[in-house]
Amino acid sequence: MEDIVRQDEATLRAEASRLDHEHVADVVERLNQHDPETNAALLAGLSDERVVEILDLPEFEDSGEVIANLPRERVARIIAGMSADRATDLLAEIDEPLRSQLIARLDPETRSAVSRLAAYPEGSAGSIMTTEFVSVPSDWTVAQTLRHIRAVEKSRETIYTICVLDPATHALVQAVSLRRLIAAELDANVLSAGRHRRPITVEPRTDREEVAQLFSKYDLLAVPVVDERFHVVGIVTVDDVIDTIFAESTEDVQKFGGMEALDEPYMDISFTKMMRKRAGWLCALFIGEMLTATAMQHFEHELERAIVLTLFIPLIMSSGGNSGSQATSLIIRALALGQIKLRDWWRVALREMPSGLTLGAILGTLGIIRISVWQLLGFYDYGEHWMLVAATVGAGLLGIVTFGSMAGSMLPFILQRLKFDPASASAPFVATLVDVTGLVIYFSVALVILSGTLL
Amino acid sequence: MEDIVRQDEATLRAEASRLDHEHVADVVERLNQHDPETNAALLAGLSDERVVEILDLPEFEDSGEVIANLPRERVARIIAGMSADRATDLLAEIDEPLRSQLIARLDPETRSAVSRLAAYPEGSAGSIMTTEFVSVPSDWTVAQTLRHIRAVEKSRETIYTICVLDPATHALVQAVSLRRLIAAELDANVLSAGRHRRPITVEPRTDREEVAQLFSKYDLLAVPVVDERFHVVGIVTVDDVIDTIFAESTEDVQKFGGMEALDEPYMDISFTKMMRKRAGWLCALFIGEMLTATAMQHFEHELERAIVLTLFIPLIMSSGGNSGSQATSLIIRALALGQIKLRDWWRVALREMPSGLTLGAILGTLGIIRISVWQLLGFYDYGEHWMLVAATVGAGLLGIVTFGSMAGSMLPFILQRLKFDPASASAPFVATLVDVTGLVIYFSVALVILSGTLL
């Protein structure tokens, strides 16, 4: 028994020494394989500086639980050393009453930064910004600014973008890059390193996806977040933007797959949590799809007289769903990238109508060929009216694929108009919508073409 | 007529003056609304420096055509001023014989950079890197390095990451950030600003998605690309990585929607090109889905005897497709983010089997309730054996949803194993796979449960 403890301690010591030397991102990757108690024991042996580095990475899991296992006094010191945005996220993960106790122990500056950041809604620029940026008054020289940067470097999230403020009003005058500052004359005014145009800024409530688009468009490393008086309340840095883009596109793909977005990696999420994320949409879609049974019941009479029609129901329905899924994926991405806006819906409709008709005509022709070949080569006998059956399938496909393209492309707009996330227009959602309508289109076409013969 | 020309000229002059003062990204956005001839006329009035800035943005469309309308001598000057990676992309867009003529006019340094970059395959680190980086020998001081940076700043894509090379072998010793350099002692060795660990690097053939994951994990601004002797052949910067992540996730969503990825914005792509991207997969899926008709024909005898079974075919098939689509979206993203690897397939299977069974049980129960309620409340009469019909639907759903989850989660692995892009496992692809098998499962269950009564 003692042996095991000794061995455990030796392993822990060896592990702790590795934790001191590797890149912090690799350290976090390793720590994530342990449970929170082990991690608390490991962090206890590291310097405050190192623990701050580890907790500053959003990838570190269960940080709230780990923190709860460390001495309070130390935790307060560590939180004060962390970047304000990560400290805010960390405190949000800690349960009461510990959270209030920790907040009470923070220095006033950190406390006010954390409480301001916590007020911004999730998914906004305010929620991913940090308050540790470099700012200098606009009457400083380049040399003064560089000296200041050197002095405060350690405590700032980024020094590559410097906010130059009006000395009187403290409003943002310009955002200067370190790059241009380095290249500028040392005794020139700091603004000589800026451009003569209004700086690119965002507001605290700007959607983080919009922020990401700005970074992509203007090749930014950081963007100041300003309030209505143009005071800088924080700065969004490119590393948070990259995490945002990855997170948003994962959410988009999962929603498009017809489920709620997981907020954890696939292998880490618990079984019950995953079931909740998947079962909700699956049941909703199932209940919607029940309308197909109702529609089929409605056409029961026709079904009995022309069993041959049922053979093509899956083929026709899935084609409508597939063309709808294509159109939806196109529109969701174009909306997410800002390539099209809500007001462009009619331009999209004007593109999708001919697209749907063309694709429908292609599939309709394929369907007619399929039936004719099987009939003429004797693989299957569709009855004496096989030509009319083929015509019904062909016309049905034309109508359903066109409807699928239109419904699939318009659904994201409708959802956005109703203030839902357009990415909720999932492939299964579109397929369900098209399935029910598709059946009605198919049987209506059949009634027109086959009435007097089969029906 | 002359009036119109005069007005046109005035408009052009006004436009050109705006082009000189706005942010280059906004300029490009505006230029993209004109045709290439107008843009060539506009660029003719701008300074070389400004034209280089414009062409350096990957967002500028039809740059090849615009260039073709400018004087050759000027184009050679402009290309030499551009970043090497963008110059390479630009030259790739220009048709022969103009391309060879332009390449012949380039200075030897630009020409060799361009020819090296053009050799890297699309989607590799080599294809998104640039050759304009800052490198210094490892025996320099911090002050020397800063002086050098100041001198070469204008001609480098980034100065925030400096490659420190062995003075003898020119191999990479360390990548130092400008941030640490600024904070370091001026007369210390440049390596004092580095960390004592092997620098993070990639190889020219590293997949750009992997490069993006490294940036996200290590919060990088740039990463050196090294050959087998650890010589730096280029550098990948964060702005190109952001563009990469956006492009990759758009591709993933479009492929998941069941089409080939468009390489142009939705509103810009031509009608015929869009049809080619969509029709191919749609036809392939249609032909696959034809097997449903074959399966239905096979069970024609059962269909005739129990029309009531057909009523639930769309419901059952779509549920299998939906659960498959969920599973696929989860696995595609987890693979794209590097959360799971090919070798983890069995661990995923062990998670998806109980998930599928649970979800199938939930939907199966809902299905049985639906039939019972309709029967008992008299909405519809499913015949004297309605309880057996309900049992068939319930058991069918259990089997099909489980099969859907398994097939949907394994398909991306199978595709990756076969060296296809796992993202080609689209929602429609999975749905088609599940539809055909689903029909067979449903009718097999029916044969077991209903044999002796309805069948």
Using the Cβ of B263 and the Cβ atoms of chain A, whether some distance falls under 8 Å is answered with: no
Ordered alpha helix ranges (H), A22-129: 24-31, 36-44, 48-55, 63-68, 72-81, 84-93, 98-105, 108-118, 125-128
Using the Cβ of A179 and the Cβ atoms of chain B, whether some distance falls under 8 Å is answered with: yes
Give the closest of A218, A249, A293 to B23, CB-based: A218
Using the Cβ of B251 and the Cβ atoms of chain A, whether some distance falls under 8 Å is answered with: no
What confidence score (pLDDT) does residue A258 get? 86
User: Hey, what amino acid is at B57?
Assistant: L
Residue B6: pLDDT over 70: no
Closest alpha carbon within chain B to A344: B267
Using the Cβ of B269 and the Cβ atoms of chain A, whether some distance falls under 8 Å is answered with: no
Mean pLDDT calculated for residue range B236-246: 93
Chains A & B: contacts with CB separation below 8 Å = 356
Closest alpha carbon within chain A to B276: A359
Q: Give residues 402 to 431 of A whose Cβ lies within 8 Å of B.
A: 426-428, 431
Q: Give residues 83 to 142 of A whose Cβ lies within 8 Å of B.
A: none
pLDDT over 70, % of chain B: 97
> Which of A278, A302, A401 best tests the B interface by mutation, with the highest count of B CBs <10 A?
A278
Provide long-range contacts, Cβ within 8 A and 24+ apart, for B306-309. B306/B446, B306/B450, B306/B454, B306/B455, B307/A300, B307/A303, B307/A304, B307/A307, B308/B382, B308/B383, B308/B389, B308/B454, B309/B389, B309/B392, B309/B442, B309/B443, B309/B446, B309/B454
Q: Give residues 186 to 205 of A whose Cβ lies within 8 Å of B.
A: 195-197, 200
Class of domain B2-119: mainly alpha
Tell me how far CA of residue A112 lies from CA of A103, A117, A131, in angstroms.
10, 9, 11
What confidence score (pLDDT) does residue B11 get? 72
Q: Does domain A134-237 have CATH number 3.10.580.10?
A: yes
What confidence score (pLDDT) does residue B242 get? 94
Instruction: Report pLDDT digits (tens) over B142-185.
Output: 999 999 999 998 888 899 999 999 999 999 999 999 999 999 99
What confidence score (pLDDT) does residue A2 get? 45
User: Hey, what amino acid is at A451?
Assistant: S
ipTM score for this prediction: 0.84
**Chain B residues with beta carbon closer than 8 angstroms to that of A375:** none
B300 vs A307: CB contact, 8 Å cut-off?
yes
* CB distance A45 to A27 below 8 Å: no
**Chain A residues with beta carbon closer than 8 angstroms to that of B152:** none
Ordered alpha helix ranges (H), A219-344: 238-256, 271-298, 300-305, 313-336
Using the Cβ of A251 and the Cβ atoms of chain B, whether some distance falls under 8 Å is answered with: no
Instruction: Report pLDDT digits (tens) over A140-168.
Output: 999 999 999 999 988 888 999 999 999 99
CATH number of B271-450: 1.10.357.20
**Chain A residues with beta carbon closer than 8 angstroms to that of B283:** 362-363, 366
* CB distance A171 to A158 below 8 Å: no
B182 vs A215: CB contact, 8 Å cut-off?
no
Hey, do A2-119 and A271-450 end up sharing a CATH topology, with the first three levels equal? Answer: no
Residue B201: pLDDT over 90: yes
Give the closest of B262, B289, B366 to A286, CB-based: B366
Domain ranges of chain B: 2-119, 134-237, 271-450
* CB distance A85 to A117 below 8 Å: yes
A236/chain B closest Cα distance in angstroms: 13
B311 vs A328: CB contact, 8 Å cut-off?
no
Using the Cβ of A254 and the Cβ atoms of chain B, whether some distance falls under 8 Å is answered with: yes
**Chain B residues with beta carbon closer than 8 angstroms to that of A183:** 150, 153-154
Closest alpha carbon within chain A to B306: A304
B290 vs A221: CB contact, 8 Å cut-off?
no
**Chain B residues with beta carbon closer than 8 angstroms to that of A314:** 289, 292-293, 296, 313-314, 317, 435, 439
> Which of A60, A326, A358 best tests the B interface by mutation, with the highest count of B CBs <10 A?
A326
What confidence score (pLDDT) does residue B229 get? 93
Give the closest of A328, A366, A435 to B286, CB-based: A366
**Token pair listed for B302:** 């059962």
**Chain A residues with beta carbon closer than 8 angstroms to that of B315:** 286, 289-290, 292-293
What confidence score (pLDDT) does residue B3 get? 46
Mean pLDDT calculated for residue range A231-239: 95
A337 vs B363: CB contact, 8 Å cut-off?
no
Using the Cβ of B375 and the Cβ atoms of chain A, whether some distance falls under 8 Å is answered with: no
Give the closest of A275, A311, A431 to B297, CB-based: A311
Candidate from A204-218, B19-33, B382-396 with smallest mean pLDDT: B19-33
* CB distance A363 to A319 below 8 Å: yes
**Token pair listed for A49:** 């500086």
- B2: pLDDT confidence band, cut at 50, 70 and 90? very low
What confidence score (pLDDT) does residue A362 get? 95
**Mean pLDDT of chain A, nearest integer:** 89
Q: Give residues 215 to 234 of A whose Cβ lies within 8 Å of B.
A: 215-219, 221
- A410: pLDDT confidence band, cut at 50, 70 and 90? very high
Cα B224 to Cα B195: distance, rounded to the nearest angstrom: 15
Mean pLDDT calculated for residue range B95-124: 88
Using the Cβ of A282 and the Cβ atoms of chain B, whether some distance falls under 8 Å is answered with: yes
Residue A10: pLDDT over 80: no
B10/chain A closest Cα distance in angstroms: 24
Closest alpha carbon within chain B to A277: B326
List phi, psi (to 5°) of A176: -110, 140
Residue B238: pLDDT over 90: yes
Q: Compute the C-alpha angle B338/B340/B342, nearest 5°.
A: 105
Residue A3: pLDDT over 70: no
Name the β-bridge partners of B222.
Answer: B237
- A6: pLDDT confidence band, cut at 50, 70 and 90? low
Non-local (6+) Cβ contacts of B400 within 8 A are B316, B317, B319, B320, B360, B434, B437, B438, B441, B442
- A360: pLDDT confidence band, cut at 50, 70 and 90? very high
Cα B157 to Cα B220: distance, rounded to the nearest angstrom: 15
Mean pLDDT calculated for residue range A402-421: 92
What confidence score (pLDDT) does residue B8 get? 66
Name the β-bridge partners of A141.
Answer: A189
Give the closest of A178, A215, A252 to B253, CB-based: A252
What confidence score (pLDDT) does residue A148 get? 95
By three-state DSSP, how is residue B223 classified? strand
B153/chain A closest Cα distance in angstroms: 7
Instruction: Report pLDDT digits (tens) over B422-431.
Output: 878 888 899 8
Listed residue (A254, A213, A239) closest to A83, CA to CA: A239
- A7: pLDDT confidence band, cut at 50, 70 and 90? low
B322 vs A258: CB contact, 8 Å cut-off?
yes
What confidence score (pLDDT) does residue B149 get? 94
| Rounded (10°) CA dihedral A116, A117, A118, A120 | 100
Using the Cβ of B317 and the Cβ atoms of chain A, whether some distance falls under 8 Å is answered with: yes
A329 vs B182: CB contact, 8 Å cut-off?
no
Mean pLDDT calculated for residue range A174-187: 92
Using the Cβ of A7 and the Cβ atoms of chain B, whether some distance falls under 8 Å is answered with: no
A182 vs B245: CB contact, 8 Å cut-off?
no
**Chain B residues with beta carbon closer than 8 angstroms to that of A396:** none
A427 vs B325: CB contact, 8 Å cut-off?
yes
What confidence score (pLDDT) does residue B43 get? 87
Residue with tokens 């780990």: A66
Query: What element of type H or E holds B234?
Result: strand B232-237
Give the closest of A183, A311, A317 to B296, CB-based: A311
State how far Cα A407 lies from the chain centre. Answer: 24
Kindly provide the b/e burial profile for residues B164-178, where b requires at least 16 CB atoms within 10 angstroms of the residue's own CB. Answer: bbeeeeeebbbbbbb
